Amino acid sequence: MPRINNKTFYENAIKRYGCTARGLNWNSKQSQHTRFEVIHELLGEHLPSSSVIDAGCGFGDLYLFLQQKGALPRKYTGYDMLEEALFVAHKRTKQTCVHKDILNDELECADFYIASGSMNILNRSETFLFIRRCYEVSKKGFVFNLLRGEETQGHFNYFLPEEIEAHVSDFVYDVEMYEGYMDGDFTVFLKKEER
């Protein structure tokens, strides 16, 4: 089970803050965009020729960010569990936005899976399952960020980069870790072998 009820956690924030970064429990729009900037740096040149699934798309903010950067993917699909978020995401992006539970539903293949903030309230076993499932259906790789720190009993899910590296070592071709762009956060790029 997640640390707290996923649906309630986000629905309460949306009621309080509306369709904003805070409405998705981001610290601020700036922290959300800092994470998006790292994703753009990693994948920007690959995106125009790639299909992307945004696992936990929220209001479609990643798509809008990439649009501003002139780095839209060839095909974009957003997955989320909140119907309200999906409605807004589809309206904003005009892209396919689908109700999906990453941990349980069948996932379609895409060149890249991206998850920004999507695992922050999962428990540890759910996080590892989320990572494995997204990696398995990505053709080129999976990029995600996590909160950096020691495991605690609070609402949020914290990891150390070496824990993730150790966990994925049996099924991932190549792992790249990115830190230093923001306190308490890191980004992971699980790459698939070029064929």
pLDDT tens-place string over residues 114-149: 999 999 989 999 999 999 999 999 999 999 999 998
Report yes or no on 1 lying in a domain. Answer: no
Report yes or no on 148 lying in a domain. Answer: yes
Tell whether the model's pLDDT for residue 194 goes beyond 60. yes
Q: How confident is the model at residue 1 (pLDDT cuts 50, 70, 90)?
A: very low
Tell whether the model's pLDDT for residue 159 goes beyond 80. yes
Report yes or no on 173 lying in a domain. Answer: yes
**Can you give the pLDDT at residue 23?**
47
Report yes or no on 23 lying in a domain. Answer: yes
Which 3-state string (H, E, C) describes the chain? Answer: CCCCCHHHHHHHHHHHHCCCCHHHCCCCHHHHHHHHHHHHHHHCCCHHHCEEEEECCCCCHHHHHHHHHCCCCCEEEEEECCHHHHHHHHHHHCCEEEECCCCCCCCCCEEEEEECCCCCCCCHHHHHHHHHHHHHCEEEEEEEEEEECCCCCCCCCEECHHHHHHHHCCCCCEEEEECCCCCCEEEEEEECCCC
How many structural domains are present in the chain?
1
Report yes or no on 22 lying in a domain. Answer: yes
**Can you give the pLDDT at residue 32?**
87
Give the structural domain span for 81: 6-191
pLDDT tens-place string over residues 8-42: 554 554 555 555 554 454 455 788 899 999 999 99
**Can you give the pLDDT at residue 121?**
86
Over pLDDT 90: what percentage of the chain?
72
Question: At 122, which CATH number?
Answer: 3.40.50.150
Report yes or no on 100 lying in a domain. Answer: yes
Report yes or no on 153 lying in a domain. Answer: yes
Which one is predicted more confidently, 103 or 193? Answer: 103
Query: What average pLDDT is seen over the chain?
Result: 87
Report yes or no on 171 lying in a domain. Answer: yes
